[in-house]
Amino acid sequence: MFELKDKVALITGANGGLGDKIARTLHAQGAALALTDCRTNNMEKLKSELGSNVEFFVADLTNADSITQLVKDVEEKFGRIDILVNNAGLTKDNLFIRMSDEDWQLVLDVNLTAGFKLAKAAVRGMMKRRFGRIIGIASVVGVTGNAGQANYSASKAGMIAMNKCLAQEVGSRGITVNSIAPGFIRTPMTDVLPDDVKAALLAKIPEAKLGEAQDIANVVAFLASDEAQYITGQTININGGMAMI
């Protein structure tokens, strides 16, 4: 089930906890990995632990030329891109009235525009081969909104809408395009939250626990597989019931 042997996956934001788990899960299913991030501090370790069929590439996703070069470099190294996981993202939270134009634009550039440019570049080869999987890591706040996160919420809502449009355009070419909208996922950042803040979060979640990065990675592996060939234009919400959408 969910075998990805002979498939090449490009994963952005691979240096983070979620990207790391997605990379390990896809590799375990047989995929060759092209990992990218603007930082390299964990990439060498990840590559050495996974072993064969793994390469990492440093890319600045705020720079259009860097994105174009990234896709060229990956295709030159591996011959193609079968699976694109648009996972890279950042936050610059502030109340709407206090949010700077610079913080608004940076979050949109990384979380949305970079995904557009990557998908546009990668989908050309997918269309020729009549196979492809494009998976965007969105967020529950892209559907519900969240005070203090107008830029982040807008970027994730934009990703969901963008992927639905692309899914309609390329579905006849054997390419599926879907989004995953995580809720609150346990990370080193949530581990250090005060107990009262954690309790307030958990009170909103029927399952009464935070999600794990593996919960997200499992669905990425499913959507990338042949078993998900008839699923496209969808948003898979993984939030423990916090938002029943």
- 223 within 8 A of 178, measured Cβ to Cβ: yes
The helix/strand/coil state of 37 is strand
- 138 within 8 A of 243, measured Cβ to Cβ: no
Residue linked to tokens 């399952």? 207
Selecting among 34, 152, 183, 232, the annotated active-site residue is 152
| Residue 72 CB partners (closer than 8 Å, separation 6+) | none
| Residue 22 CB partners (closer than 8 Å, separation 6+) | 11, 14, 85, 87, 213, 216, 217, 220
| Residue 122 CB partners (closer than 8 Å, separation 6+) | 10, 71, 81, 84, 132, 134
- 117 within 8 A of 64, measured Cβ to Cβ: yes
Q: Cα–Cα distances in Å, from 78 out to 10, 17, 31, 67, 81?
A: 10, 25, 11, 17, 8
152 in catalytic set: yes
User: What residues are labeled active site?
Assistant: 152
